[in-house]
Amino acid sequence: MARFARWYGSGPLHLLVLIASFAVTGYALVRLFAVRPLEVAIWFVGAAILHDLILLPLYSLADLSAHAVLRHRATRMPQPPWINYLRVPTFLSGVLLLVWFPLIFALPTPYPGATGLSMDVYLGRWLAITAVLFVASAVAFALKLRRVRRAAHADEERPAPGHDAAS
């Protein structure tokens, strides 16, 4: 087993899940190509171009900007890595925006009556979900920061090995 993990880089369960995900993706691709081959090819190329040439540079620039703006001075207390507490809600909010942007921006859609909701509710709900994501992330970061600082404070109060508190 150790030899396999060294060769592959992970356990056999990881390989099994990866093979299963490729199988499901391949099945979906075969089914979609059977129905609409040109549209699938255009979507795939368009998605690759949109991501690699437009979105990747944009969110890389946003990440570098967040690092530059929110960089902090060194303190005596240890700091947990904070950037993922900003990246995760931003990513989730962005995915929701990407999936639901026609409804969020009240653009005409080919399925106007599918939900039965007015077009006016989606922007407010997306903003509310985004706010909840960022607040939950801030609370998680605050709890992590508190835990790290308590552990560091407890380490400072503990006497060094070999030193007696009475001496």
Q: 């900003």: which residue's tokens?
A: 86
**pTM of the full predicted structure?**
0.61
Q: Where are the domains of the chain?
A: 74-167
User: Nearest 5 degrees, angle CA 43-CA 49-CA 51?
Assistant: 95
- Per-residue pLDDT tens, the chain, 167 aa: give them: 788 778 888 888 998 999 999 999 999 889 988 888 898 888 888 888 988 898 889 888 988 887 787 776 655 656 667 888 988 999 999 999 988 888 888 877 666 666 677 778 889 999 999 999 999 999 999 999 898 888 877 777 766 666 655 55
Q: Residue 77 has what DSSP assignment?
A: S
Residue count (the chain): 167
Q: 């890389």: which residue's tokens?
A: 60
What's the pLDDT tens digit per position in 123-157? 999 999 999 999 999 999 999 989 888 887 777 77
Q: 């499901």: which residue's tokens?
A: 24
The token duo for 96 is: 């929701």
Q: Which residues contact 101 (CB under 8 A, 6 or more apart)?
A: 107
Q: How far is CA 153 from CA 46, 87, 138, in A?
A: 53, 28, 22
